[in-house]
Chain A
């Protein structure tokens, strides 16, 4: 087992929702609701999920921008919450962040050398050889010309700006880089350059990455391990190949099948016939094809997550199970489903939160692949077993 640099145990982050004149607390947004994960040295953990799944909040808690409601974060075995002021400052050096939007995460009134050198100023560090030389080295490291250090962010393209953001994050020689959607604002042709840069830097500097992204293709490419989040919880986690090739959670399976593949033989909709038929269509008008699982509705609100398994309101697998029974509790939110209350779901999905455990009967025995589903199985076909 490789050395663990970052460990998160039962992390919870709730934001109170206040309402009324007295700003009384009326519930909470359960952005992160009991997440545990480990990051090993020199490896990349990809964190995927839809918007609202809590992946960005988790990233912000890890870099110390947000304080967790409960739970522990161990960096190099040290509990972050128990650190002294000086210790916290050191922590900030060890864990740095690369932001999503290279247009807004750089101060337009600071030159690139000021931006990249700012961490030195904040931490009162004088790198050997002086700050100027250190900034030059950092720019070179990320593939920018050190002669451009006096330019301003607007003089750079999106991809170059993201390189500036990476150089700033690397200034203090961190051990862990938390990347929050670092390439999603970039064009495809530039995206690849930044991904390659991040991979090179990891090999060169032995960095560990927590890579938050919604693009499953990007995550598959860069990550060694993958965690899938849904409504503030991790529903499946394992090695990249285990999760992508042998997904066991119905949500992961749906997510993977919904990703558009750049292959016209895998169609989301039926191709139109070459010679248009007469206006009155004879056959199928739906145009639904392929093996894609299309989930219904939107993810529920994290203010009032469903009881039991958070995914049961959208689960495609649950209604096909022999254990499924008429739903005594109307689905959440009641108006968002035409068949609210009619949905068949096994009672256990509605009452018990499934634990994130390894299921040797489904996956490879002894692997680290864990899944939070009462009925986890590899997707062979949506068959019903007696």
Chain B
């Protein structure tokens, strides 16, 4: 996959802030090596929001941990580069990598209660980085903490810096997380499911806050999520991941109007929504385990437009049209909304692979061996 071109860039002034090229991450597992991310490339431009969408186990979280140098010891990056302002972070030592990231890339995690330390005040945690890196005095740090809380619109910041995380509601905690990520004034903010644990009304508040701060600071934002509604609401560009690979990359509007990959198309159809109350179109089976990847296109056992070539050849991420990238042999057909041409040869019992979604057979089609423990969530921490 060395010929993979970079995702569409909209010619930002001064080039991308962060550029990930052909990133691959492997985990050591008891039964061999598991490839969690395989050839992921993306760019983050100033003032734009890139959404990385995928189901659990698609590698979306692991790839951002790799960018930040936060991978667990069982994982390693096997190829690719992460260029931040021209420097390839992956060539640096772990310490230098983190030092560089700490100044310019920050991360907001999903579970704010788990990410905040319960025994320190919010104010202390907000300015930990500032004191460690810039040697701020205690008084200055406190003033800065109040400023940060004000910025994320936590009411009565002056009093609340002295409180502990458990005294904050879920939405307020997520604001604290965002404030602490902003403490070092980063160029790029990676937000991993920042609103998944929140109620919809609070989610809307937090998403708006992120967008406002981003616009104000011309920050690049990477939003990792599984919620296609959130993506449609806030993203500028979308990368859809499946089984460790980017399967589609495009600006947000065409992703929804003319998806160029059958997975994207099926995901969009399977969202239960206002439209219709009939039977929900579903994707049969489940995502493949990284330990037992199907041959050919990783999506072929669940694809509704599968052809012979899909079972044997891995489709490269190519551009079916200007500004679009799709890893499907028939991307142009899918985009145009037509079915790919049928196989000339008689189809070898295609129906056997996709039975009724109620039968277990569909799951077996994806994972031939049923004995190994299912890797729950699959994100390996």
Contact = CB atoms under 8 A, between A and B. Distances in A.
Contact of B204 (A143, A220, A263, A292): A292
Contacts of A268: 204, 207-208, 211, 230, 233-234
B159 A264 contact: no
Nearest to A301: B169
A195 B280 contact: yes
B215 to A, nearest CB: 5
A276 B200 contact: no
Interface residues of A, number: 75
Given A187-B226, A261-B229, A285-B212, A192 B270 contact: yes
Interface in B234-270: 234, 236, 252-253, 255-257, 266-268, 270
B273 A261 contact: yes
Given A214-B199, A261-B229, A285-B212, A274 B207 contact: no
Interface stretch (A11-19, A153-161, A167-175, A377-385): A153-161
Nearest to B372: A155
A196 to B, nearest CB: 6
Contact of A269 (B234, B357, B360): B234
Contact of B169 (A142, A192, A258, A298): A298
Interface centre among B218, B226, B373 (most CB of A within 10 A): B218
A365 interface: no
Given A200-B358, A260-B230, A221 B280 contact: yes
Contact of A263 (B46, B201, B232, B371): B232
B199 A51 contact: yes
Contacts of A144: 360
B340 interface: no
Contacts of B271: 188, 217, 262
Contact of A193 (B357, B361, B370): B357
B363 A160 contact: yes
A188 B159 contact: no
A361 interface: no
B74 interface: no
B47 A276 contact: yes
Contacts of A298: 169-172, 202
B176 to A, nearest CB: 14
B155 interface: yes
A83 interface: no
Interface in A131-172: 142-145, 148, 151, 154-160
A86 interface: no
B10 A221 contact: no
Interface string A276-307: 10010100011110001011111100000000
B100 interface: no
B193 interface: no
B187 interface: no
A289 to B, nearest CB: 9
A274 B252 CA distance: 12
B368 interface: no
B203 A258 contact: yes
Interface string B143-183: 00000000000011001100000000111100000000000
Contact of A287 (B169, B199, B212): B212
Given A189-B55, A189-B267, A193-B357, A335 B363 contact: no
B95 interface: no
Interface stretch (B26-34, B119-127, B281-289, B314-322): B281-289
Interface in B325-364: 356-361, 363
Interface in B51-84: 55-56
A197 interface: yes
Given A221-B280, A298-B171, A188 B207 contact: no
B358 A50 contact: no
A276 B48 contact: yes
B200 A262 contact: no
B240 to A, nearest CB: 12
A197 B358 contact: yes
Contact of A286 (B12, B170, B212, B356): B212
B49 interface: yes
Contacts of B373: 154-155
Contact of B155 (A157, A240, A336): A336
Interface in A261-275: 261-272, 274-275
Given A103-B376, A269-B208, A271-B236, A217 B226 contact: no
A158 B45 CA distance: 36
A362 to B, nearest CB: 21
A254 interface: yes
Which among B13, B155, B283 has the greatest number of chain A C-beta atoms within 10 A?
B155
A180 B374 CA distance: 24
A269 B207 contact: yes
A258 B277 CA distance: 21
A157 B279 CA distance: 22
Nearest to B218: A279
A216 interface: yes
B249 to A, nearest CB: 15
B171 A188 contact: no
Contacts of A255: 200-201
A185 to B, nearest CB: 10
Given A268-B233, A272-B48, A272-B215, 16 more contacts: A158-B376, A187-B226, A221-B277, A222-B272, A240-B277, A255-B200, A258-B201, A259-B200, A260-B232, A261-B232, A272-B49, A288-B208, A295-B201, A298-B169, A299-B199, A335-B160
Interface of B: 10-13, 45-49, 55-56, 155-156, 159-160, 169-172, 199-205, 207-208, 211-212, 214-216, 218, 226-234, 236, 252-253, 255-257, 266-268, 270-274, 277, 279-284, 286-287, 302, 356-361, 363, 370-371, 373-374, 376
23 contacts: A50-B199, A50-B200, A154-B374, A154-B376, A156-B374, A157-B374, A187-B226, A188-B228, A189-B287, A192-B280, A192-B283, A193-B357, A200-B358, A217-B229, A218-B272, A258-B204, A260-B232, A262-B228, A262-B273, A285-B216, A287-B211, A296-B205, A335-B159
Interface of A: 50-51, 103, 142-145, 148, 151, 154-160, 187-193, 195-197, 199-200, 214-218, 220-222, 240, 244, 254-255, 258-272, 274-276, 279, 281, 285-288, 292, 294-299, 335-338
